[in-house]
Structure 1
């Protein structure tokens, strides 16, 4: 007797989550905790949106450069070292721009 599920044809379609602007997940509490780790006592209310914007731009550039490392290595999966190399080059370039 055959199983009611069939022979692997068809099946349940996976529900794909629609990606939205995920920067809203960086809440005021998270920004406040980051600031407290940097020895900041208090934060103005106008800073939160600005911090979200700056963090979004930083992450977009870091992910873009990490993707470049992954594609250059002809990998399909981004490794930890791709991200480390991308961040190290970003830090080195930002330090060089400050020194000049």
Structure 2
């Protein structure tokens, strides 16, 4: 590809290592980003009228476990295909493998 220089994939060929795109942030409880009102909205959509205060932490724990398993399977499909980008089809196949078929995203 023209204009790439000697370095292959990185900008102007300074050194051998490409630019770091994503700086690693310190891990914190990102699951707390699923807020109490967000959980209430999901419950309302499911027909729930009143919610115990203990439900919020339990919901976060269940959601985290579900997402971990789906992401693990999706990444497995991606690595098997020797790709670095997780596609929508990887997620669809991961969900199908877990018995939760999702329509409308191909596959």
TM-score of the pair, normalised by structure 2: 0.68
Aligned pair partner of 1:57 in 65, 73, 96: 65
Distance 2:27 2:62 in 1: 20
The one-character-per-residue Cα deviations of 1:46-82 (angstroms, maximum 9, x if unpaired) are: 1111111011111111100100010111111111110
Distance 1:37 1:47 in 2: 16
Q: Which runs of 5+ in 1 are unaligned?
A: 1-6, 93-100
Q: Which runs of 5+ in 2 are unaligned?
A: 1-11, 15-19, 101-107
Aligned-residue offset at 1:16: 4.4
Aligned positions of 1:73-84 closer than 5 A: 73-84=81-92
Distance 1:66 1:33 in 2: 27
Aligned pair partner of 1:85 in 93, 99, 106: 93
Alignment RMSD (CA, Å): 2.4
Residue 42, structure 1, aligned to residue 50, structure 2: yes
Label 1:82 to 1:40 Cα distance change in 2 as closer, same or farther (>3 A). same
Q: Which residue in the other structure is 1:21 paired with?
A: 29
2:99 alignment partner, SS class: helix
Q: Looking at CA atoms only, which structure, 1 or 2, has the larger radius of gyration?
A: 1
